[in-house]
Structure 1
Amino acid sequence: MSQEKLEKIEKAGFVLKPDSPEIRPNYERVREAFESRGIEVLLAERSARMIGEKGMPFERMCVESDFLVSLGGDGTLLSLVRRSYAWHKPVLGINAGNLGFLADVTIEEVETFLDQLFSGEYRIDHRLMIAGHIRKASGAKIEFFALNDVVISSPVTSKMVIVNAAIDGERFNSYRGDGLIISTPTGSTAYNLAAGGPVVYPLTKAFILTPVLAHSLTNQRPLVVPADFRIELDTEKYEAVATIDGQERYDLEEGDVVTIGGAKEGARLLHRKERNYFSVLRDKLHWGERNW
């Protein structure tokens, strides 16, 4: 576990759940808790416009903030982590709905968490990030980052894709089916889990390759590989798309190659010190519950 602490606790940069102006009362409540403890709240321009307030450009907010805060759900946090990756600021997820895997501090817990923040009773987890790019057949290069996963699938529901996979230049499999998920341990509880992939402890340095509804007489199993391997994927015969964290989408043509590796630095997530990952699994997935 990392013993890293924040250098300063003076300015927090906020991003709110998009297209949700009804979040304003929760934001005002959280902002009051921050400001009452002497923390200046900086609000990203797009979020500010949504609730009728003044904000600042996202890039400037990232530069000036000591840490960043997503107010919404896990999707809001995923987007913030990707967009702010270049600044490597710690990110706190405040959940405005149900308990999330990532945004685990509730509105009701904010004041207690802030007191813990000032007393050093918190932790900063370093989560593996995917650093990838798409090399188009034309020679163009599209770079991306992902915290959860990269999914190669058909743009049309229930249409098959063929995904050829290589690890460190060695071709090892062709996946025929509805798609292929390349997940981080953080994303192992997302689409990977729904597709039958394993849950992997989030601080593990590994990638999980999980086929989606394989069209094969042979048993295509999920595969876990070290994160220092380079994974290359290409598609053939059928149309395909690459979806990043379920939020960004890129069309793939035959001859395009998707390359995936571990980013040099991981995402830095702020958590309550007492947060226990296995308790979250039990609560979210209802593990250990009796059926009577």
Structure 2
Amino acid sequence: MPAMKSAFQTVALIGKYMNPETREQILSLARFLGERHIGVFIEEKTAQHSSIKGYTTLQMNAIGAYADLAIVLGGDGTMLTVARALVDYKIPLVGVNRGRFGFLTDINSDHMLESVAAILDGMFDTEQRILLEACIVREGRTVAQGYALNDVVVNKNGLARLIELEIHIDGHFVQRQRSDGLIVATPTGTTAYSLSAGGPILYPTLDAIALVPICPHTLSNRPIAISSASQVSIQVVHAEDASVHLDGQMKMALQPGDHVQVKRAKNTITLLHPPGHNHYDVLREKLHWG
């Protein structure tokens, strides 16, 4: 019987750097794809750090233009990096879990080839995830900009005192708070830092954003969920040492008077899951709900 035509003709492989086990998995997956006559690209830094040769390499920003599918081998942190880099492209992402938690990378590495084979044969569930776009506005001028799949966090650094923030939503004043900071989380990010700070868990495909204060001085400052179409402005009223973090991976220093403007990014990312994927099963397993 002839092999089923693959749903994807070219696949890019992106792995967590400096991990010998990841290197062997990438090579195993590359050989597997080659046997199915699928074009294979290795992300340039992945190939360099893992000493992989013999395959065509692509810079991260070129993957969206040349590959039909990207397979990410690592933990959720690796997936966050890839999602931000490829947000302007419509390339779907598949995550193979090499980390400890894995809300985003949900294919078990022990069953990697079987799961990838099913996806190549068109057997997968598709899910759209929103991202946030954050801009720092200083004296009327945008001085920095970036994307976040999990969260945008404005917080104090080290042992600095509480910072004072003023929050507006869609131009309407909401509150002024003294706290360790504020988390603006996508539904994806509500199982990350937001969860640790007492925020709600939002279903990943909800058109919503969660605002979660970090250790507020006044306990009436509670987490709230708002429409993802809303625009949030966070003004740094007073802070000795504050910064904004995107997905906990990108950091930018803030000054008193700065505004951090957060809105839903224009594009979404597409995650492909094995057939039968269920978010409640993931929550039950990862959060040990029993």
**Normalised by the size of structure 2, how large is the TM-score?**
0.91
Cα pair 2:71 2:94 within 8 Å, conserved: yes
Alignment of 1:177-192 (within 5 A): 177-192=179-194
Map of 2:236 onto structure 1: 235
Aligned length: 281
Where in structure 1 do 4 or more consecutive aligned residues deviate above 4 Å?
Answer: none
2:51 partner SS: coil
Whether 1:113 aligns to 2:115 is: yes
Amino acid at match of 2:148: A
Give the gaps of 5 or more residues in structure 1.
1-6
Map of 1:200 onto structure 2: 202
Cα pair 1:135 1:257 within 8 Å, conserved: yes
Cα pair 2:7 2:121 within 8 Å, conserved: no
CA apart distance, 1:99: 5.0
Cα pair 2:76 2:99 within 8 Å, conserved: no
Map of 2:3 onto structure 1: none
Map of 1:143 onto structure 2: 145
Map of 1:18 onto structure 2: 17
Aligned in 2, Cα 1:97/1:167: closer, same or farther, shift over 3 Å? closer
Map of 2:48 onto structure 1: 49
Task: Identify which range, 118-127 or 136-145, moves more after superposition.
Answer: 136-145
Give the aligned CA root-mean-square deviation in angstroms: 1.7
Cα pair 1:34 1:114 within 8 Å, conserved: no
Task: Identify which range, 116-125 or 75-84, moves more after superposition.
Answer: 116-125
The whole-number CA distance in structure 1 between the counterparts of 2:142 and 2:101 is: 40
Map of 1:70 onto structure 2: 72
Alignment of 1:79-118 (within 5 A): 79-118=81-120
1:192 partner SS: helix
The whole-number CA distance in structure 2 between the counterparts of 1:22 and 1:69 is: 16
Map of 1:134 onto structure 2: 136
Cα pair 1:137 1:254 within 8 Å, conserved: no
Cα pair 2:84 2:149 within 8 Å, conserved: yes
Give the gaps of 5 or more residues in structure 2.
1-5
CA apart distance, 1:21: 4.5
**Normalised by the size of structure 1, how large is the TM-score?**
0.91
Map of 1:4 onto structure 2: none
Aligned in 2, Cα 1:68/1:39: closer, same or farther, shift over 3 Å? same
Whether 1:59 aligns to 2:61 is: yes
Alignment of 1:208-227 (within 5 A): 208-216=210-218, 218-227=219-228
Map of 1:3 onto structure 2: none
